[in-house]
Amino acid sequence: MTGSEIDIEQEYLTALYARLDALREEASTAVRRAECDRDAADVWRAEVARLDTVERGLCFGLLELCDGRRLHIGRLGLFRDDEPLLVDWRAPVAQPFYTATASAPQGVRRRRHIATRGRTVVALNDEVLDPDSADEDGLVGEAALLAAVTAERTGRMRDIVTTLQAEQDRVIRDDHRGVLVVQGGPGTGKTAVALHRVAYLLYTHRHLRTRGVLVVGPSRIFLDYIGQVLPGLGEHSVMTATIADLCPDLQVSRVDPPETAEAKGRADMAGRLADAVRSHVRIPEEPVDVEFERQVLRLDPAACRRAARKARQSGLPHNHARMVFQREVVDVLAQHLVDRMEAVVLTDTGEAIDGGTLDGRLGAADLRALAAAGVVIGQDDDGPRTMLDETDKAALRDALLADTDVQDALNALWPPLNPQHVVSDLSATDGWSIADIPLLDEAAALIGRDDSLTTFGHVVVDEAQELSEMAWRMLMRRCPTRSMTLVGDLAQTGNPAGATSWDRVLRPHVGDRWRFAPLTVNYRTPAEIMAATTDLLAAHHPGMRPPRSVRATGEEPWRHRTTLADLPRAVADAATRTGGRLAIISPGTHIAALSAALSLTTPMDLTDDVVLLTPAQAKGLEFDAVLIADPASILDAPLGHNDLYVAMTRATHRLGVIHPGPPPTELSAMREVPAHLP
């Protein structure tokens, strides 16, 4: 690459930053001017934030087209007057930057990756797309890609907008309107792709900015890990949450045994909860006496049954249907009262028709009932008379509803419920577990919520294989359009209630209106480490093809035998000799001893040099180096083989396994070393 070409790109980049600075200045001025208009000020403040976040790596590519045009590609679109200076990576014309190949050049003559440090161009990497010399390994911008995948990790995920690969770009721009399932092995970029797809959808479908996008991840640690990616792509409005975060008023304080968690996750719990809610409605066998203003009104079972039927036919949730029930019952009670009062109406000749007081006047109880209902009784020489019109009857119904005795009777028949109450009916509990959250949410849906449920225009689920059938019901309620992107790997399912088939998970909600998109290349785990997982995969997922690693490092993973008593010391010893950002992954039972041996402080921070995690916590994360402590105990868990696969595939460079006693058969082919690696 000649110096002059770098100079030319530098000149162009300087002009782009000048344009960015000018826009930033305009937006800052607009914020100051809009001080009295809070909404306008917020809009301009968001614009300043967006312009600030594209500062790093503003422009990263160039397409030289066969027709002579040059398109610079970057994190946002920049124009001077109507002239495009920089094309947003999400614009359709930018797509060939990610997908053009020598055999299908899409009008591109040359693709250039521009590496920058701050506002300075530091390197250019060119690919001439010449169909005559097509020599394809399927990778786009290989040098830039390899530099990105071998870089040391920081404990925070970075965006990959400069080096997206064609199969990833196709997923990001997929126009399927229903559920898109992105399945791929470890390190294939599922998380990265899902987040870039969010940025793409927000850019392409503006309505999503108001309808909202939700990204669901497996843990807070994971959400922190990915937390900078979308802001780095200029998107600040996306909500991220774990399943537990979606019910913020509940504290998770308990861990269920696996078999309990599995049972709680099954879809049939929805039917059981619905039955539990129904069981609280009591249709009496005998007439029920209801006292109102010292009169006894009799409610017969048939009337209760009719009222319950109407309430159910309303299709409303329990607490809202209760309004229908009580209106029906109160109508019946009010009619009893009216009938009684009407019974003392005098005939034309002035005689009491039936049941009135001897002198034809209303009884004292009738008068109290009417007074409670606010009915003004006309007086004449013969005393008060009743001729109730509809307004009077409505007032009577209101008075009945406000009466505590009547309310007590209604509550005994159709009690108001809360979700905790209903879920505890199914299993007595002293605190809530993570598996209870979808049950509580289901109960809330059956009962009716006080506040309206927040829904989203698009929902992304990462580590989607971990969600139970009940958790899927919870998410579907939050995405009425069923516009979703799910990313996961069925070989990594650690939750006994998690998915074993995408079709089984999705069919109840969307039938066959979901699309499958595979990712096949592993950008994280080197070939040597993937080779070490071969026996594990073959034993537990025969027929499943591991993703192809994009690189080899020449560093062989190793295992070292120790004793149970010596495990913490052996791990601590190996940790001090392992370079880079290190994760020690062990079953929960060893965490306390290892934490003490390694003098680790809690709470854990992923940007620390050494972190200690269970396999479940390590899900979705990656580190320069990984040490696995006691793989046999990891395998003992119900889906322990998947947990071990997750643990083994977290490293970008080095993997060591320390096993008390003999190694699990699945790892016995790994190179044994007498102690830690030299």
Interface residues with ligand ATP (CB under 6 A)?
145, 148-149, 158, 160, 163-165, 168, 184, 186-192, 489, 523-524, 620, 622, 649
Alpha-carbon Rg for the chain in angstroms: 34
Cβ pair 159, 192 in contact under 8 A: yes
Question: Beta-carbon neighbour count of residue 633 at 10 Å?
Answer: 20
- CB-based burial, 279-292: b 16+ in 10 Å, e otherwise: ebbeeeeeebebeb
CB of 189 to ligand ATP, least distance (A): 3
CB of 270 to ligand ATP, least distance (A): 29
Residue nearer to ligand ATP on the CB measure, 356 or 547: 547
> Which single residue is written with the structure tokens 């209870």?
436
Residue nearer to ligand ATP on the CB measure, 105 or 217: 217
CB of 217 to ligand ATP, least distance (A): 11
Residue nearer to ligand ATP on the CB measure, 494 or 496: 494
CB of 159 to ligand ATP, least distance (A): 8
CB of 192 to ligand ATP, least distance (A): 4
Cβ pair 106, 48 in contact under 8 A: no
Query: Alpha carbon of 4 to those of 11, 15, 70, 124, 381: distances in Å?
Result: 10, 17, 17, 11, 114
Distance CA 338, CA 345 (A): 11
CB of 238 to ligand ATP, least distance (A): 16
CB of 127 to ligand ATP, least distance (A): 15
User: What percentage of the chain's residues is helix, strand, coil (to nearest 5)?
Assistant: 45, 20, 40
CB of 643 to ligand ATP, least distance (A): 13
Residue nearer to ligand ATP on the CB measure, 190 or 361: 190
Distance CA 175, CA 177 (A): 6
CB of 195 to ligand ATP, least distance (A): 8
User: SS3 sequence, 109-122?
Assistant: EEEEEEEEECCEEE
Distance CA 489, CA 146 (A): 24
CB of 622 to ligand ATP, least distance (A): 6
CB of 646 to ligand ATP, least distance (A): 7
Distance CA 421, CA 408 (A): 19
**CB neighbour class for 650 (10 Å; exposed up to 12, middle 13-18, buried from 19):** buried
Distance CA 234, CA 199 (A): 8
Structural tokens at position 199: 């940025």
Residue nearer to ligand ATP on the CB measure, 125 or 295: 125
Residue nearer to ligand ATP on the CB measure, 306 or 540: 540
Ordered alpha helix ranges (H), 34-105: 38-53, 96-99
Report which of 530, 563, 571 is spatially closest to residue 547, judged by C-alpha positions. Answer: 530
At 5, the amino acid letter reads E
Ordered alpha helix ranges (H), 291-361: 301-313, 318-342
Residue nearer to ligand ATP on the CB measure, 65 or 143: 143
Q: Is 184 annotated as a binding residue?
A: yes
Q: Is the dihedral of CA 473, 478, 484, 485 positive or negative?
A: negative
Report which of 494, 464, 476 is spatially closest to residue 438, judged by C-alpha positions. Answer: 476
Q: Is 189 annotated as a binding residue?
A: yes
Residue nearer to ligand ATP on the CB measure, 494 or 568: 494
Residue nearer to ligand ATP on the CB measure, 187 or 568: 187
> Which single residue is written with the structure tokens 């830690």?
676
CB of 86 to ligand ATP, least distance (A): 21
Residue nearer to ligand ATP on the CB measure, 165 or 433: 165
CB of 168 to ligand ATP, least distance (A): 6
Q: What is the DSSP string of 184-200?
A: E-TTSSHHHHHHHHHHH
CB of 410 to ligand ATP, least distance (A): 53
Q: Is 580 annotated as a binding residue?
A: no
Report which of 446, 226, 214 is spatially closest to residue 320, judged by C-alpha positions. Answer: 446
Residue nearer to ligand ATP on the CB measure, 319 or 533: 533
* CA diameter of the chain: 119
Report which residue's Cβ sits closest to ligand ATP.
189
Q: Is 234 annotated as a binding residue?
A: no
Cβ pair 192, 157 in contact under 8 A: yes
Residue nearer to ligand ATP on the CB measure, 189 or 232: 189
Q: Is 543 annotated as a binding residue?
A: no
Q: Assign residue 182 a region (left: φ > 0; alpha: ψ between -120 and 50; beta: otherwise).
A: beta
Distance CA 502, CA 490 (A): 8
Residue nearer to ligand ATP on the CB measure, 489 or 666: 489
**CB neighbour class for 577 (10 Å; exposed up to 12, middle 13-18, buried from 19):** exposed
Report which of 472, 205, 446 is spatially closest to residue 318, judged by C-alpha positions. Answer: 446
Q: Is 186 annotated as a binding residue?
A: yes
Residue nearer to ligand ATP on the CB measure, 158 or 368: 158
Q: Is 500 annotated as a binding residue?
A: no
Query: Alpha carbon of 414 to those of 243, 281, 283, 318, 322: distances in Å?
Result: 31, 5, 9, 9, 6
Q: Which parts of 136-175 are beta strand (E)?
A: none
Q: How many helices (H) and strands (E) does the chain have?
A: 27, 24
CB of 265 to ligand ATP, least distance (A): 21
Residue nearer to ligand ATP on the CB measure, 123 or 401: 123
Cβ pair 475, 510 in contact under 8 A: no
Distance CA 579, CA 559 (A): 17
Cis peptide upstream of residue 92 (ω within 30 degrees of 0): no
Annotated binding residues for ATP, written as ranges, equal: 184-191
Q: Binding site, residues?
A: 184-191
